[in-house]
C-alpha cells in the first residue's frame, strides 16, 4: 500500500531472536491459543508486517509478547514497530494508562458490566505485566479523593467489603465464576469506588483499599474462570495497585501469586517463576502463616512447570510447614485449606511424572470438599480423569468424567471454561471405548 514503510524495528527483533518469519507466526498462533483465540498466521503474514502493515488488535500485542519471551525483556507494540492505533475515543483504554488504581477499577467495571462494551475488553490482550516492587519502600500510587464534602467512610463500610468477599468466594465455589460476575463488577463500580474516594481516617482508608483489592482479586479469578484471560489480567493488575496503595504486603503478595499462576497457564514459565519469587520476597515474614503457605504452594506449581523439580518439592514442604502453624480465621484471604494444598501438590506430582501420587492427592482433596462446591468438584474429577488416563486406566478415568459432568451442570453457564473440551481432547485416543462413547454422547446431548 502506498505510504507504507518497512518495519525495521520488527526486522531487528527477528534477527535478535534468531527467528524466521515462520517461527514468529507459529509463536503468535500458540499464544493466541493460550488466550482463547484461533489464529492461522504464516510466514506470508509476517512478511506483510515487515513491509509495513499492522496486524489487528490484539495480535499486535501478541507479537510483542512472543518476541519478548524470546529475547528476555518486555516489549510493547511500539517496540515492535507497530504505531499505536487511533483510540477513537476509547476512554477505557485511556483510563487504563492512569496511575490511579481507583480510576482504572471504575472504568473497567463499568465497561465490564455493560454487555456491549464487555466483548472488546474480553478480546483484548495485555502486552506486558506491571513492574513489580522489589523494595516495599517505594511511594504507593496516588488515589484521587472526593472534594464534594460527602459522608465520611467508616470501619462499618470496610467490614461490609469483607463480608461481600466471603459471600462472593462462597458463591464462586458453589456455582462457578460466571455466577454473579457482572453483579460484582457493578458492586465495585457503584458501591466500592465511591467509598475509596470518600473522606476517611487513614486506618479506615487502608482497610477499604485492602477490601477493594480482595474483591478485585475475586473478580479477576471469576473472569479467568469464564475464559476472559486478558480482562482477568487487567483486574489482577488493578488489585496489585490497590494493595500497594493500602500498603498491605499480604494482599500485594497474593496478587503477585495470582499473576504468577496466570503466567504459568499462559505458558510463560520464566515470568511465572519471577512473579512467584517476588511474591514471597515482598511477603517476607510479615504476613500470616496461611498466606505464606498459599504463596509457597503457588511457587511450587510454577517452578515445576519451569522444570525446577527439586525447588518445587522444597516449596511444597515449606507450604505444609506454614500451614501447620496457621491460626487465622476462616475466610478467602485469611486461611488456606488443606484440600487446596493437596490440589497444588497433585499438580506438582503430575509434572514430576508421579501419576499415582497425584491421583492419591486429588482423591484426598476431593474427599474433603463440601458436596455443593461444584466448581472444585468439577475441576478435581476432571483432573483425576486426566491423571488416570496417564496410566491408561480408562474405565476409572471415564467414571470421573461423568462425575465432572454432573457437577459442571450445576454451574452457571460459562464457568470452568475449557475444562470439558480438554477432557474430550484427552479421550480422543480411546474414542472406540464404549464408556468413552457414552460420555461423548451425553456431552453432546447437553442443552448448552
Task: Give the pLDDT confidence score for residue 148 in this predicted structure.
Answer: 56
Shared domain check, 282 and 177: no
Cell of 313: 518439592
Is the four-CA dihedral 266, 269, 273, 274 of positive or negative sign? negative
Shared domain check, 442 and 323: no
Shared domain check, 440 and 312: no
Mean pLDDT of 132-137: 63
Shared domain check, 260 and 351: yes
Shared domain check, 178 and 103: yes
| Residue 447: burial class (beta carbons within 10 Å; 0-12, 13-18, 19+) | exposed
Task: Give the pLDDT confidence score for residue 92 in this predicted structure.
Answer: 67
Digit-coded pLDDT (tens) for 159-195: 999 999 999 999 999 999 999 999 999 999 999 999 9
Domain-embedded: residue 146: no
User: Lowest-pLDDT range, 168-182, 211-225, 226-240, 333-347?
Assistant: 226-240
Task: Grade residue 59 by pLDDT with cuts at 50, 70 and 90.
Answer: confident
Domain boundary among 19, 51, 80: 80
Contact 282, 248 (CB under 8 A): no
Residue 74 has pLDDT above 60, yes or no: yes
Domain-embedded: residue 104: yes
Shared domain check, 124 and 180: yes
Domain-embedded: residue 86: no
Shared domain check, 273 and 345: yes
Shared domain check, 272 and 313: yes
Shared domain check, 202 and 103: yes
Domain range enclosing 402: 368-448
Residue 57 has pLDDT above 90, yes or no: no
Compute the distance between CA of residue 321 and CA of residue 324 in angstroms, rounded to an integer.
5
Shared domain check, 302 and 219: no
Task: Give the pLDDT confidence score for residue 2 in this predicted structure.
Answer: 46
Amino acid at each position: 500500500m502506498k505510504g507504507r514503510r518497512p518495519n525495521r524495528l520488527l526486522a531487528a527483533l527477528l534477527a535478535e531472536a534468531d527467528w524466521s518469519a515462520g517461527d514468529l507466526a507459529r509463536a503468535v498462533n500458540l499464544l493466541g491459543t493460550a488466550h482463547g483465540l484461533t489464529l492461522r498466521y504464516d510466514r506470508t503474514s509476517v512478511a506483510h508486517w515487515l513491509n509495513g502493515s499492522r496486524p489487528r488488535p490484539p495480535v499486535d500485542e501478541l507479537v510483542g509478547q512472543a518476541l519478548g519471551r524470546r529475547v528476555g525483556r518486555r516489549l510493547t507494540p511500539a517496540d515492535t514497530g507497530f504505531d499505536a492505533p487511533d483510540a477513537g475515543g476509547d476512554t477505557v483504554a485511556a483510563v487504563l494508562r492512569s496511575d490511579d488504581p481507583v480510576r482504572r477499577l471504575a472504568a473497567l467495571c463499568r465497561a465490564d458490566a455493560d454487555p456491549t462494551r464487555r466483548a472488546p475488553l474480553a478480546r483484548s490482550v495485555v502486552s506486558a505485566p506491571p513492574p513489580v516492587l522489589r523494595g516495599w519502600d517505594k511511594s504507593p500510587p496516588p488515589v484521587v479523593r472526593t472534594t464534594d464534602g460527602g459522608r465520611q467512610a467508616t470501619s462499618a463500610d470496610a467490614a461490609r467489603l469483607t463480608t461481600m468477599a466471603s459471600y462472593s468466594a462462597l458463591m464462586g465455589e458453589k456455582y462457578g465464576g460466571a455466577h454473579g460476575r457482572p453483579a460484582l463488577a457493578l458492586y465495585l463500580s457503584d458501591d466500592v469506588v465511591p467509598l475509596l474516594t470518600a473522606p476517611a481516617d487513614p486506618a479506615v482508608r487502608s482497610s477499604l483499599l485492602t477490601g477493594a483489592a480482595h474483591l478485585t482479586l475475586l473478580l479477576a479469578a471469576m473472569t479467568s474462570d469464564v475464559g476472559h484471560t486478558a480482562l482477568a489480567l487487567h483486574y489482577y493488575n488493578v488489585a496489585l495497585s490497590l494493595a500497594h496503595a493500602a500498603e498491605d504486603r499480604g494482599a500485594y503478595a497474593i496478587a503477585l501469586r495470582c499473576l504468577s499462576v496466570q503466567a504459568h497457564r499462559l505458558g510463560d514459565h520464566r515470568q511465572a517463576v519471577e512473579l512467584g519469587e517476588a511474591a514471597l520476597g515482598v511477603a517476607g515474614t510479615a504476613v500470616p502463616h496461611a498466606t505464606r503457605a498459599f504463596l509457597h504452594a503457588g511457587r511450587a506449581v510454577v517452578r515445576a512447570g519451569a522444570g525446577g523439580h527439586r525447588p518445587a518439592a522444597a516449596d511444597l514442604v515449606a507450604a505444609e510447614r506454614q500451614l501447620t502453624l496457621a491460626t487465622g480465621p476462616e475466610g478467602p484471604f485469611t486461611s488456606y485449606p488443606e484440600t487446596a494444598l493437596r490440589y497444588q501438590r497433585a499438580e506438582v506430582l503430575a509434572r514430576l511424572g508421579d501419576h499415582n501420587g497425584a491421583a492419591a492427592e486429588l482423591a484426598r482433596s476431593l474427599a474433603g470438599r463440601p458436596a455443593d462446591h461444584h466448581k472444585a468438584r468439577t475441576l478435581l474429577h476432571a483432573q483425576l480423569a486426566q491423571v488416570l488416563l496417564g496410566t491408561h486406566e480408562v474405565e476409572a478415568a471415564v467414571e470421573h468424567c461423568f462425575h465432572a459432568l454432573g457437577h459442571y451442570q450445576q454451574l452457571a453457564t460459562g464457568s470452568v471454561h475449557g475444562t470439558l473440551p480438554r477432557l474430550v481432547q484427552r479421550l480422543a485416543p480411546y474414542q472406540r471405548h464404549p464408556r468413552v462413547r457414552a460420555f461423548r454422547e451425553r456431552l453432546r446431548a447437553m442443552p448448552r
